[in-house]
Chains A and B, each alone.
Chain A
């Protein structure tokens, strides 16, 4: 057999391991991976361009639908940015409710990820049980907001709905049940031997590697990098209800599992605290339809890491430019560099270990060639806009 012949295993765009399309090519020698490349962009929908033709309120709903399980943090980041541009601040009760729903969403997202990661490792029983328990938090969210995903809780200037006493009690009961189950799962994944065989010492990423690759979120925190936007730059209600950071030292897959589980405990504590101390105030503040010109940056902590929004306004009632950088994008680098040397069977768990959200991360970048100039083959932003306008006239 020709030794130089490369055996490339494609995972994606359609593959049972991926929940959304993305293309990864692993060059394999027997069962050992020798190199990895990725190609993304299959779920690009052009949302950043589309919001330029909508007014500020409509844009919020479009941005909320970039992703299904981190929808609330997208809307929160956007609203915080626009409120800063308009020079208003949402009332304390609204901020507290934003925190409450963000934490409930974090619970929802982590439990979903939990099940998916167990399924990738062949541990279907954990998948079924965690998704059964996830129904509890989805019903809570449905009771408060009216929908199981895409809660549409935010308005520019506040939130839409309030939490009354009965709902607060139901939330407390649900959280108690979930906390007990989470404790049980933590015990299982740290002791079950077959599962540990799939996660312990797999995909180890040292702290320096994590810092140089720019990892964010629980992926970085599992390698002992203390990065959490809720603590570094508190936003919304997080200055009144502070969070404690959760980190692990090993940096392998097991550490990532444990970090996310322990973050759940933090979320439970935070939700109880918010429910006990909801400040009294109105729910919204009036915001003009035309937002004053300016540029603003808004950062929040999505369940996957740091979410970054750049919003620019030109004084009219439509946004000029909104740029979104989602947390999954920097985390891909960590997968591609830790994949070398592992077995092919570990690839799905490695891919899912960073909690990828493909819908979030399809963005457009334009590339300058080596002379740092734009050749005829590259388009600048204005070229792209003109092309879009001309073509669809």
Chain B
């Protein structure tokens, strides 16, 4: 059966419906629970096994060992390299890593916010103080 203007009734009704566009900056819809946003690292249970660093496809993670026996580690996370695949979360056997579901607005005007140091307060300060000399402990080798 041939019709001209088969969508007529639906189109006409749309005139009186509210548009389905989300007005983004004005109306922010929260992401679902399992959303893969920015990575968050908890140094409490980390043993320094480096599995997360080995399997990262984008070489976005570096684990800096300050003191292996005392389990002091600092993670340098490059948000701009991360592809948010969550393979590191899968690999970690001690649940140190998880992907946040509320930090996904990551735009910035320069490169600085994209390199994040995670760790205990004193460890991170320890790393960043000689930052001018750029001579911190040897960062762990990335996977070949």
Contact = CB atoms under 8 A, between A and B. Distances in A.
A70 to B, nearest CB: 17
B63 interface: no
A144 B34 contact: yes
Given A143-B34, A188-B7, A191-B3, 20 more contacts: A55-B55, A57-B55, A57-B57, A57-B87, A58-B57, A58-B143, A129-B10, A142-B31, A143-B33, A146-B34, A146-B35, A146-B101, A147-B84, A150-B83, A152-B36, A152-B86, A160-B90, A191-B6, A192-B3, A192-B5
Interface of A: 53-55, 57-58, 61-62, 65, 125-126, 129, 132, 135, 139, 142-147, 150, 152, 155, 160-161, 184, 187-188, 191-194, 196
* B contact face: mostly helix, strand, loop, or mixed: loop
Interface in B1-25: 1-7, 10-11, 20
A55 B143 contact: yes
11 contacts: A55-B55, A58-B57, A61-B57, A61-B83, A125-B7, A142-B31, A146-B101, A152-B85, A152-B87, A160-B90, A194-B4
Contacts of B97: none
A161 B89 CA distance: 12
Contacts of A126: 7
Contacts of A129: 10
A300 to B, nearest CB: 20
Contacts of B31: 142
A62 B86 CA distance: 14
Nearest to A135: B20
A62 B34 CA distance: 22
B56 to A, nearest CB: 7
Nearest to B143: A55
A255 to B, nearest CB: 18
B7 A193 contact: no
Contact of B20 (A132, A188, A191): A132
Interface string B45-80: 000000000111100000000000000000000000
Contact of A160 (B55, B86, B101): B86
B39 interface: no
A146 B86 contact: yes
A101 to B, nearest CB: 13
